[in-house]
Amino acid sequence: MIALDNTGNAFQYLSNKELKRACRLFTLLSKLGGMNRSGKANSWASIPPVNFLLKNRIFDFFSGGLTLETCERVGDELWGYGVYSSPAPLVECNDKQLVFDEYLRAIRIARDFPNHAFTLVKLSTLVEPRILRLVSQNAMLNHADKGIYTEFANRVRLLCNEAFSSGKSIIIDAEHVDYQPAIDSIASEMMMLHNGDRATVYQTFRFDMVETFERLVEQLRIASKNGYILGAKLLRGTLTHREAGESEKILFQNTQNDINHSLNEAIKFLLNNLASASFIFGTHNHDTILYILSLMENLGVSPGDPQVFFAHHLGLADHLSFNLALSGYNVVKTIPYGPKNIVEKGIVSSIIQHYSASHLREERHFLRKEVKRREKLVEGET
């Protein structure tokens, strides 16, 4: 079994100065990580030290910059260590055509970058969430809303067509549970249209919700029946974050053990069905990754199998990402980019929702371990 705690591999891309700066960043993040678990990023960011941190550290460390071009440069650096990239445009704009154009540009430019494996798409940025909620509730749409939804569906179809033509893939992200059913429905439709013998479209499955495993099994059944490859991204989800509103009617898992059990069943199920599925494991959990590696070895799945990817956010879980990549596994880093205030808010919101203080302290532990390792190397040379 490979060593996932080799910090020399994990942080070789950071200079000594950058490494110590990252330690200070995670020290502050770990102190604040448990202060607000409600998902209200703005209230967290309003704390003066965090506001300063957002302006001076978070954007630089966790994002690909302001534009797709700066994002691709970050991706090129990662590719030097064998890590793929998944640009994630973060755009908030009332003009949905502009948002669509940016997604389309990201997919088109991927043709020229072998390391650009996926483009992450948030469907709620292409249409009013109100429309997605109505569709999720099977509500009757009036004439105007039908027109809006039809235009939205056409845009999604065009993005998937472009990804198919480019030989690239897109990941349809998981979102608020109030409108997740509508997103799942269109993702399933796009897979049926575009996946064929290769996964062009990936649907995201959240395992903090009940019946996710059952939905995954059903999606694979549909894919097998219709002769296409299922694309699935698996997310653990979290007990500490619950969306407000209509989601109170949604059934969530009761305990972390329930989440872990459901996720592990899905992992085992997909690895036993590689002939019909391609998948991305979006987990930063050390034990889950060891479980996946053990299953792959027992089932004779090669580390570089093109239908199996591990996904981590830029700047997080580097001890896992780079050690896996060095051992020949497919690893992709999600790289958000866009206007600074929007990207900062998105990153902080994601950390609040998915990272506890203990997780952030673990990140800091590996950074400090590498600082000490380098200091001992210097001492040995003197």
pLDDT, one tens digit per residue, over 163-208 is 999 999 999 999 888 899 999 999 999 999 999 999 999 999 999 8
> How many whole angstroms separate alpha carbon 97 and alpha carbon 121?
14
pTM: 0.91
Sign of the CA dihedral running 188, 193, 198, 200: negative
The phi and psi torsions of 64 (rounded to 5 degrees) equal: -95, 10
The phi and psi torsions of 240 (rounded to 5 degrees) equal: -85, -10
Within a 10 A sphere around the Cβ of 144, how many other Cβ atoms? 8
Token pair, residue 326, equals 């060095």
pLDDT at 349: 77
Sign of the CA dihedral running 302, 306, 310, 315: positive
Token pair, residue 370, equals 């590498």
> How many whole angstroms separate alpha carbon 322 and alpha carbon 284?
13
The phi and psi torsions of 235 (rounded to 5 degrees) equal: -120, 135
Domains of the chain and any CATH numbers = 64-169+232-237+278-337 (3.20.20.220)
Angle among Cα 25, 26, 32 to the nearest 5 degrees reads: 100
pLDDT tens for 302-316 read: 999 999 999 999 999
Mean pLDDT, contiguous 10-residue spans, the chain (382 residues): 90 94 87 53 51 70 94 96 95 86 95 93 94 95 96 97 96 91 96 96 93 95 96 81 52 83 96 96 92 97 97 95 97 95 83 77 94 89 64
Residues 6 or more apart in contact with residue 309 via CB below 8 angstroms: 84, 117, 279, 280, 281, 330, 331, 332
Tell me the CA distances in angstroms from 208 to 176, 239, 336, one per residue in order.
13, 7, 24
DSSP letter at 317 equals -
> How many whole angstroms separate alpha carbon 3 and alpha carbon 46?
39
